[in-house]
Amino acid sequence: MVHFLAIQETKLGVSVNFTFNGFWGRSAYSVEVVEAQGRSGGLACLWNPAMFSCDGVIKDRYFLMLSGTLVHSGDRINLVNVYASNDASIRRNIWSNLIGIKNAIQGLWVFMGDFNEVRDASERLNSEFSSANAEAFNHFILFAGLSEYQMGGGRFTYISDNGVELSKLEWFLVCLGFLEKWPMASDHRPILLSTLPSDFGHIPFRCFNSWLEIPGFLDMVKKCCLSFVFNGPADMALAVKLRGLKNNIKAWLKREKEQSDGVYEAKKNHVRFLENLAEERELLVSELNERSECINSVMEVDRRKQLDAR
């Protein structure tokens, strides 16, 4: 379960009415935001108030800091959501401001987000590396007394739309006290023990609009309706017809889901394979086209899933 969520580049202005429970769900949450400047930037933090009690907020165009205590342990902790500028001189001012804030406030510290900077040349591929900018970023990490927290995944956190430029721009930076309380994660996979009952009774049948976009769905429904034959009262005929239609839809969707899930996972895995390959060499034009086609297919499936969730 996620207890804290940091979002960068929300592009949400002060006049935008946005419901964050689309990210969080129905459980209780608190939220703080930094509005975007026009259609650029914007930050949001969501958290579980039963886990983190916030009593202080500092807002800047490029960062959002929440200060408070961890409810169960009483530890004071400061959580900073960062979305740094593309301008190197502005980034250096951000680093200076963050060091000043950290030196003035007690507690554990976690900096997270898009710092728009790398620490050495190996963290950029096919994009410009500035040793001066990297040095300024490393000095910020050193003077703030921070350490890079281990993250899973690939070597890079950003890949351009054309699949050529790769960079490691997102970071988790934590203070020494945080590392001492929560050392780097082990290489074991976590397990979850749940004591809550999972039987919620009969699941009602729902028809989603996204089904209408699946090729062959409407033809199957029409064929099922036209082939229906029943001798008896009209109300009974309607009930039987709807029950038969429901069962046919469920069986058809099950077959379709098994097939589409296989294609969906295969395309996601192919994108992952190509992006890992891009870390070793430049992708061929044919490989870039394959990546684009797979991403479009995955995004289309995700769009239909979002329609269902809505």
* Alpha carbon distance 182, 146 (integer Å): 14
Q: How many CB atoms lie within 10 A of CB 260?
A: 15
In sequence order, what are the beta bridge partners of 79? 66, 110
**Cα separations (Å) of 142 from 136, 175, 187, 287?**
10, 10, 27, 40
Region 217-227: what's the mean pLDDT?
91
Which residue would you say has higher pLDDT here, 206 or 47? 47
Q: Which domains does the chain have, with CATH numbers?
A: 4-181 (3.60.10.10), 209-309 (no CATH)
- Is 125:279 a contact under the CB 8 Å cutoff? yes
In sequence order, what are the beta bridge partners of 172? 112
- State pLDDT tens for residues 160-180: 666 666 666 577 888 888 888
- State pLDDT tens for residues 236-293: 888 888 888 988 998 898 888 888 888 888 998 998 898 888 888 888 889 888 988 9
* Alpha carbon distance 202, 60 (integer Å): 49
| The dihedral formed by the CA atoms of 267, 273, 277 and 283, expressed in degrees to the nearest 10 | -10
* pTM for this prediction: 0.59
